[in-house]
Amino acid sequence: MQEGQAIVLIALLILVLFGMLGLAIDSGRGYVDRRDQQTAVDAAALAAGDWYENYTDLNLSIQQSVLLYQRDLRLYSGPATVSGPTLALVGANNSLKQNTWIYTYNESYTLTIVATDTQFNGFQFQYTTIHSLSLAFIQIFGGSKTVPISATATSIVGNQRQTPALLTLSTQSCATNLTGSAQLTVLGDVYTNGTACLDSNLHEAGNCYGGAGSNCNVAQYYCYNSSPGFVPYAPSPTCNAGDTQGTGIVPAPTLPDPGYLADSVAYYTSAQTYNQWNRGTWTEMRPGQYGNFHLSGGTASCAFMDPGVYTFTNGYSSDANGSLLSNELRPPAEELWSAPATTNRATPQFWDQNGVGVGGAAGPGCSGLFNLTTVAAPGFGIKHQGGGGNWGVELTSVRWDRFLDSSVTPDPCYNSPGCRRESGPSECQQANTLDGNNNGIDVNVTRNAPGAQYYNVYVNANGCDGNPNNFSFVGRFLAPGFVDGGSPPALAVGPFPNGTNTTLINGTGGWPCGLPTVTICSIVYNNMSPTVQCYAQTRTQLCQTPDDEGAPQCFSNCPPPANLLSQENAPMSLEYPPYSAGDVANENYCQPSPNPGNINAPCIGSQVTPGAVQFYFPSGSCFNQNSQGATYVYGGVQYNWIVIYAPASNTCPESMNGGASTQFIGTIYTPGADWTINGGDRSPLAGQVICYTAKVAGGGQAGIDFNPNYSPVPPAARLIN
C-alpha cells in the first residue's frame, strides 16, 4: 500500500520537475532572445547616428541601420511590411521634427524607429524591437503559446549639451572668477574643473558646473532654449513655455582637455608685413607669419583679411583708436536692415564703425560708396513704359577665395579661382530715364568696399519700392583697380584713388550693355520680371539679390545702443531654391553646399567656410585686444571653428577688452593660457572659450554667446539608453 502511494508521489514530482525544466528552458530562450535583440538595436541605433553624422541623410541612415539590425537577427528575407516615415511636430511650441518608421517581419519581429531632430541637443534615434517568442514547454501546462520579448536603444549624435560656452581646465581655486561690477552674460554652460568664484553679476543662461566649494548658487539664472542666437532673459517670475532656467551643479566631474589640433598652420608659412598691400582707403592682409604685430597710436586704419591662418610669432596687440581688422565682406553703402530696397542707409556702416579710416576718427571712413548718373546711350536706350520712370539700383560686393590646405577633402576652394563670395545688397539708389531720350545709367564707384574684387549690379524697374524681390541681376563688373584676364579671380593693380568717380563698365552675365562706356543699357521694363530665386553660386538674368542683412546684435545689452553696432549678416540657409541661401559671403556660408541638406543645420556635412581665418599663437606669443582697437573676425568649419588657437605650451596672460566693434566668431582654444575678459556692447565672443583660467573684471558688460553653428564638432554618436 505504501509502495503504491510512493509511485503516485513520484509521478506528481516528475510533473513538477518537468515544469521546472520547461520553465528553465523557456526562460533561458527568452533571455537569449532579449540579449540578441538588445545587441541588434544597440548596433542599429549607433549605426544610424554614425551614418547621419557622416552623410546628414536621414533616409540613408535609417536604411543602413535596418540592414544591420536584420543581419544581427538573421532576418535574411527582409521586412514583410514597412510603414512610414510619419512626421510629427513635438517639443515646446511644436518646434522639433519627429519621424517614425515601423518594420514587421514574418519571423514575428517588429521594429519601431523614432528619429527626432532636437536641434541644439543633437539628432536622437530610438529603436524598439519586439519578438513573439514561441514557448516550447510552458504551453503544455496550459500557459501562453508565445511571450513578447522586447529591447530598446537610443543613440544621440551632434549633441551640444556637454559643450560648454566657457570651460576652464585648471583645477585650482577660482579658476573661473567674476569680480568687481563686471557683468557677464553667458548663453550656454559655464564649466570649471576647479572652483567657480562668482557673484550675482553672472547672468547664466545654462548650468554652472564646478568643483567642490564653487558658489554657483549666487548666479542669476536666465531663461534659454536650444535655438542658435537665442537672447537670454531673466524669468518673470518663471520662463516662457518651452524655455528652460538653468541651475548650479556642484560638485561636478572634471571635463578633459579636448585636445583640438591646428592642422592648417603648415600651409600658411609665408612671411608677411602689415600695410604691405595698400588698396587706397583700406589695406589687404594676407595669411602667413607676422612678427611683432602692434596697432597703436597713429596706426589707425582698416584692413581686410584674406582667408587663411595668421601666425603671430611675437604677439598680437590692437589698441589703436580708429582701427578695424576683419574678414567680413560687406557691400558699398549698406542698406538699413529695417528698410530694405529703399534709399535708407545703415548707420554705422560696418567698415566705418570704431571711427576707422585714414587719419583715424577724423578720416573719411573705409566703407564703399557709389552713385548713379543718367547718361546718353544712342541706340541702346532703356525703355520703361512708353514714357519714362524710375529705376532702382543695388550693388553687392563679390570676390573669390581659396583655402590652401590640401588635406581637407573635398576642398572646393583649393583650386583657382576658389569659392565665390557675395555680400548682402547695398542701399537702393534711384535714377530716372525717358524712353525717347535713349538714356542709360552709369554706376560710379567713389570708394571701394574692403575686399571687393567685383560688384554685382541689380536693377528694379519700379525704382526703390521697398520690395527686395523686385531686383534682378544686370551683370558682374570689375572693381576699380582690379583686373582679371576675362575670368575670376581678380588681381589688384594698385590703390584706388579715394573720391574719384570710376564707372563700372564691360559687365558680364545678365543684361550686357552694347556701349563700352555705360553700365546699364538695352533693358526693357517688361523683361525685368518675374524675378526668380537662384542657386547661390550662379547669377543670370532675373536672379534676385542675396538675402538682406539683419538687425544689430542684441545680447547682454538689449535693445542695443542706437547707431553704435553694425548690422548682422543673414542667417544660415540652404543654398538652392526654394531656400534663400542666406549669408553667402561670411560666417554663415559654407561649401560644398549640402543637397539635400538639413534646413535646421544647413552647414552640416560641408568642409569649408570660404572667408574664414584662424589666429595662431605659438608658445610665448601673447594676445592683447584693447577696446580702442577693433578686431571682428570669424573662423570656419575647416579649422573646426577654432578662431584663436594656442597650444598648451603657451601660458600667456591673454587680455580681451571687447569694445563695441570687436567680435570673435568661433571657438577660442588656449588650454594653457589665462584670460581676462572685459567690456563690449555686443558679445565679443560668439562661440566657445576653452582656457586654463578665466577672469571677468572691470565694469563692462561682457558676453559669451555660445552658438553650435560656430563651435567644434560635438562627440560622435553614443548610446544614451
Please indicate, yes or no, whether residues 150 and 190 belong to a single structural domain of this protein: no
For 493-539, where are the E strands, in sequence order? 502-503
What span, in angstroms and rounded, lies between the C-alpha atoms of 57 and 605? Answer: 10
Question: How far does Cα 360 stand from its chain's mean position?
Answer: 33
Question: Are 689 and 650 part of one and the same domain?
Answer: yes
More confident site: 207 or 558: 207
For residue 90, being part of any structural domain is answered with yes
Task: Give yes or no: residues 133 and 193 share one domain.
Answer: no
47 and 105 housed in the same domain = yes
- Mean pLDDT (whole number) for 53-59: 82
- Asked, for residue 606, whether it belongs to a domain, the answer is no
For residue 282, give Cα distances in angstroms to 96, 357, 514: 45, 8, 33
What per-residue confidence (pLDDT) applies to 712? Answer: 86
CB atoms within 10 A of CB 34: 16
Based on the fold, state whether residues 505 and 377 are members of the same structural domain: yes
Tens digit of pLDDT for each residue in 225-268?
Answer: 877 778 889 998 999 988 889 899 999 888 888 899 999 999 99
User: For residue 229, what are the CA distances in angstroms to 170, 187, 392, 508?
Assistant: 29, 9, 33, 38
Return the pLDDT at 319: 85
Residue 401 has pLDDT above 90, yes or no: yes
User: Do the domain assignments include residue 357?
Assistant: no
What's the pLDDT at 272? 95
pLDDT of residue 362: 38
Task: For the chain, give the number of residues.
Answer: 721
CA distance 250 to 149: 40
Asked if pLDDT for residue 687 goes beyond 90, the answer is no
Q: Is the pLDDT of residue 420 over 50?
A: yes
**Rounded CA Rg of the chain:** 31
Q: Which of 468, 503, 527 is the last residue before a domain boundary?
A: 527
Reduced to 3 states (helix: H, G, I; strand: E, B; else coil), residue 511 is coil
Is the pLDDT at 476 greater than 70? The verdict is yes
pTM of this prediction?
Answer: 0.83
**pLDDT, tens digit, for every residue of 341-371?**
999 999 999 999 887 764 433 346 899 999 9
Q: Using CA atoms, how far apart are residues 68 and 48, in angstroms rounded to an integer?
A: 10
CB-count burial class (<10 Å; 0-12, 13-18, 19+) for 640 = buried
Does any domain span residue 70? yes
- Please indicate, yes or no, whether residues 336 and 310 belong to a single structural domain of this protein: no
* Dihedral sign, Cα of residue 310, residue 313, residue 315, residue 317: negative
Q: How far is CA 112 from CA 83, 130, 458, in A?
A: 10, 9, 52
Which residue in this structure is represented by grid cell 524710375? 390
In this structure, which long-range contacts are made by residues 361-364, counting pairs with CB atoms below 8 Å and at least 24 apart in sequence? Answer: 361/300, 361/321, 361/322, 363/300, 363/322, 364/281, 364/447, 364/498, 364/499
| Rounded distance between C-alpha atoms, residue 550 and residue 338, angstroms | 8
Task: Quote the domain boundaries for residue 65.
Answer: 2-157
In this prediction, residue 142 carries a pLDDT of 57
Whether residue 190 sits in one domain with residue 141: no
User: Of 46-60, 310-324, 352-366, which has the strongest mean pLDDT?
Assistant: 310-324
* Beta bridge partners of residue 383, listed in sequence order: 524
User: Cell digits for 449?
Assistant: 568696399
Same domain, 111 and 71: yes
Establish if 354 belongs to a structural domain: no
Amino acid at 373: T
| DSSP H/E element including 50 | helix 2-55
Confidence of residue 4 (pLDDT cuts 50, 70, 90): low
Considering only residues 681 and 427, tell me which one the structure prediction assigns the higher pLDDT: 427
Residue (of 240, 559, 614, 707) closest to 408 by Cα position: 614
Same domain as 179, residue 96: no
The pLDDT tens digits of the residues spanning 112-165 come to 999 998 765 678 999 999 999 877 655 655 567 788 999 999 998 876 556 789
Question: Three cell numbers at 466?
Answer: 521697398
Convert the pLDDT of each residue in 62-99 to its tens digit: 999 999 999 999 999 999 999 999 999 887 667 678 99
| Confidence label for 594 from pLDDT (cuts 50, 70 and 90) | confident
Last residue of a domain, one of 508, 527, 546: 527
* Structural domain contains residue 176: yes
Residues 312 and 389 in one domain: no
Rounded Cα distance between 371 and 500, Å, is 11
Claim to verify: residue 194 and residue 69 sit in the same structural domain: no
Answer whether the bond into residue 653 is a cis peptide, omega within 30°: no
Question: Which pLDDT tens digit goes with each residue over 596-609?
Answer: 888 878 888 899 99
Instruction: State which of 94, 127, 157 marks the end of a domain.
Output: 157
Q: Is 421 helix (H, G, I), strand (E, B) or coil?
A: strand
Is residue 674 included in any domain, yes or no?
yes
693: in domain: yes
Is the same domain home to 176 and 309? yes
How many distinct structural domains can be found in the chain? 3
Q: Spell out where 494-574 has E strands.
A: 502-503
